[in-house]
């Protein structure tokens, strides 16, 4: 195949100029003082989508019904697409030459910043669906706030992701209600899943210095403002599903956002990163 004429191929200088112009519209991207916190926060957003997307992809070909198999795979694809946007911006903020692929495939476990909730094994469909609902309710409210971020780049990504996550929440809420208020077995399985996952939900709202820095800059909302809205959504759905909110400690399991993970993430990354680790830089 003949190559394109030189005039149709933008040179490196032109591409750099375009990138600089795009970046100049968002002062947060070039803010040296904010850089470490913003990079870490963007990795949290991307890692949550990446790890949960991988977990959902594990159902591909194993769903209990064809419709659910396809729906879980499509949700996984949505999340991976969001990961690409968040980690690409993280690489730009870091300004160390790392791409979204580098951040996804070449970081070790302790460098990942996802919630522990999303890295837990699927176990059965009840755990998968309940985890999806608890995270979707948080993800939806967070993205709604981020769509009005003081960072144009963050707002743009959030607005795109929100369209998909709106559907994720609608679907997961419906399934929690249908199964919670279904047969005796489905109710018991959904209640057991809720009891197991509940101690991991508090980490979503446990703010640290990174969360406070991006909130102060107007990039993200205060997590304490997201909590009551999430609680109302969860309470309404659990009530309709005839499921009892657990008495167990709300924030017993934390540390994922700081890189302290369960053993499960290491096994997940070993599988997800294998090809890139075995054949560095391979492409096809």
Q: What is the pLDDT of residues 43-77, one digit of tens each?
A: 999 999 999 999 999 999 988 888 888 999 999 99
Express each pLDDT in 94-152 by its tens digit.
999 999 999 999 999 999 999 999 999 999 999 999 999 999 999 999 999 999 999 99
Number of domains in the chain: 1
Residue 12 in domain: no
Residue 284 in domain: no
* Residue 17 pLDDT > 70: no
Q: Please give the pLDDT value at position 33.
A: 87
Residue 94 in domain: yes
Residue 119 in domain: yes
Residue 76 in domain: yes
Task: Encode 64-98: b = buried (16+ Cβ within 10 Å), e = exposed.
Answer: eeeebeebbbebbebbbebbbbbbbbbbbbbeeeb
Helix/strand number for the chain, H first, E second:
12, 0
Q: Please give the pLDDT value at position 21.
A: 44
Residue 126 in domain: yes
Average pLDDT, rounded, for the chain: 91
Distance CA 91, CA 100 (A): 6
- What pTM value is reported for the model? 0.89
Of 210, 211, 249, 250, the C-alpha closest to 230 is: 250
Domain extent for 37: 31-278
Residue 272 in domain: yes
CA 82 to each of CA 98, 164, 214, 247: distance values in angstroms, whole numbers, following the listed order: 17, 9, 19, 34
CA 30 to each of CA 21, 26, 34, 39, 46: distance values in angstroms, whole numbers, following the listed order: 12, 8, 8, 11, 19
Distance CA 238, CA 130 (A): 10
* Residue 16 pLDDT > 80: no
Any idea which of 8-12, 82-86, 90-94, 149-153 has the lowest mean pLDDT?
A: 8-12
Encoding tokens for residue 154? 């963050």
CB distance 60 to 249 below 8 Å: no
Residue 2 in domain: no
Distance CA 134, CA 48 (A): 13
Q: Please give the pLDDT value at position 62.
A: 87
Express each pLDDT in 217-271 by its tens digit.
999 999 999 999 999 999 999 999 999 999 988 888 999 999 999 999 999 999 9
Any idea which of 4-8, 23-27, 201-205, 275-279 has the lowest mean pLDDT?
A: 4-8
**Three-state SS at 59:** coil
Q: Please give the pLDDT value at position 202.
A: 97
pLDDT-above-70 percentage for the chain: 92
Distance CA 129, CA 196 (A): 13
Tell me the CATH number at 93. Answer: 1.20.1260.10
Of 128, 108, 235, 137, the C-alpha closest to 192 is: 128
Q: Please give the pLDDT value at position 63.
A: 82
Q: Tokens 């399991």, residue?
A: 253
């Amino acid at each position: 195949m003949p190559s394109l004429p030189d005039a149709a191929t933008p040179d490196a200088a032109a591409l750099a100029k375009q990138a600089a112009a795009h970046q100049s519209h968002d002062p947060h991207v070039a803010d040296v003082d904010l850089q470490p916190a913003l990079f870490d926060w963007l990795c949290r957003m991307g890692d949550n989508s990446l790890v949960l997307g991988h977990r959902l992809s594990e159902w591909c070909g194993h769903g209990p019904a064809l419709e659910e198999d396809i729906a879980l795979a499509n949700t996984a694809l949505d999340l991976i697409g969001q990961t690409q946007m968040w980690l690409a911006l993280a690489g730009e903020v870091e300004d160390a030459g790392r791409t979204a692929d580098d951040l996804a495939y070449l970081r070790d476990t302790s460098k990942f910043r996802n919630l522990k909730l999303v890295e837990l094994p699927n176990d059965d469909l009840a755990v998968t669906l309940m985890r999806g609902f608890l995270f979707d309710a948080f993800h939806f409210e967070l993205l709604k706030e981020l769509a009005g971020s003081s960072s144009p780049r963050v707002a743009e990504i959030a607005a795109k992701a929100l369209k998909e996550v709106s559907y994720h929440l609608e679907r997961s809420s419906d399934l929690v209600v249908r199964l919670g208020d279904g047969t005796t077995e489905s109710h018991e399985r959904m209640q057991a899943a809720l009891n197991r996952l509940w101690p991991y939900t508090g980490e979503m709202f446990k703010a640290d210095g990174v969360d406070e820095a991006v909130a102060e800059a107007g990039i993200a909302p205060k997590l304490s403002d997201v909590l009551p809205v999430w609680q109302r959504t969860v309470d309404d759905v659990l009530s309709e599903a005839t499921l009892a909110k657990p008495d167990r400690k709300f924030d017993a399991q934390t540390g994922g956002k700081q890189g302290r993970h369960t053993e499960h993430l290491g096994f997940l990354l070993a599988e997800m990163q294998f090809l890139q680790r075995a054949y560095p830089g391979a492409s096809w």
